[in-house]
Amino acid sequence: MKIISYNVNGIRAALTKNFVEWLQQEDPDVLCLQETKAQPDQIDTMLFAELGYTMFVHSAEKKGYSGVAILTKNAPDNVVVGMDHPRYDAEGRVIRADFGDLSIISVYIPSGSSGDERQAFKMDFLAAFLPFVTELRKSRPNLVICGDYNICHKSIDINNPQRQVGVSGFLPEEREWLDQYEATGMVDSFRVFDQSPEKYSWWSYRGGARFRNVGWRIDYHWVTETLKDRLKGAAILTEAVHSDHCPVMVEIEE
């Protein structure tokens, strides 16, 4: 099973940049999207249906903001929208699809870069998300939790880490949260296959950051340890340029 995760920074904008042609070429079994910035009636799902995909959407109540989705070629056994937590579900941040013994979650963890209020919201979300995952694993032990985590885990995951001290997305408390997440038995699938530096998935639009590869790795496929032996490959697809992020891919034996 080939799974791609992509923060598209607006699905409607991405569709004007040959997104459908890119999807046809990559041909994943499952595509998880974040930051769709669209209500269900604003997305032309027929464009995806023509490629064989069914699309499941969880939009934010606020128009033009946040939102996650899962597109799949195989019919899921079950789809669950949200975390059963109104404060976070109002922002359209979590959607899950079950396929046999495998569950795939598309998550868009909040950014805290706009100020203290949103940073506090981000930390609250993280505090709720870990027990949500822990509880879910009791009934769905094989999880692929992919998306934009808005956190660089380690120094290798960010350019010039010494200059990023105190910056949201690389704060000690955020990185410690990922340490805790990992300690519960979650695996950063990309690092199973690639331990090299300067591998990023997001670049600022400012200062030619992408051209200079001055980036951050904040998009992940974290999988439960039960799936580690089923991992077949992982990659960052830097050639895709529909967004300030690029897609990330993992392959799992079904």
Domain boundaries, the chain: 2-252
CB atoms near residue 169 (< 10 Å): 22
Mean pLDDT by 10 residues, the chain (254 residues): 98 98 98 98 96 98 98 98 98 98 98 96 98 98 98 97 94 98 98 97 96 97 98 98 98 94
Gap between the Cα atoms of 166 and 75, Å rounded: 44
What ranges make up the beta strands (E) of the chain? 2-7, 30-34, 54-58, 68-72, 78-81, 94-99, 102-108, 142-148, 186-188, 202-203, 215-216, 219-224, 231-236, 248-252
Write down the CATH superfamily of domain 2-252: Endonuclease/exonuclease/phosphatase (3.60.10.10)
Q: What are phi and psi of 155, to 5 degrees?
A: -55, -30
Q: Which residues contact 245 (CB under 8 A, 6 or more apart)?
A: 6, 7, 8, 9, 148, 201, 202, 218, 219
How far are the Cα atoms of 197, 198, 201 from residue 214, in angstroms, in the given order? 12, 8, 10
Structure tokens at 93: 């941040």
- Angle between helix 172-183 and helix 116-139 axes, rounded to 10 deg: 0
pLDDT at 254: 85
CB 234 within 8 A of CB 221: yes
Among residues 224, 217, 203, the alpha carbon closest in space to that of 248 is found at 217
Q: Which two tokens stand for residue 243?
A: 């967004």
Tokens of 154: 């380690």
Could you tell me if 30 and 249 are in contact, meaning their C-beta atoms sit under 8 angstroms apart? no
Strands (E), 114-162: 142-148
- Choose among 242, 165, 144, 166: nearest CA to 202: 242
Closest CA to 107 of 145, 71, 152: 145
| Residues annotated as catalytic (active site), given as ranges | 148
Give the largest Cα separation in the chain, rounded: 47
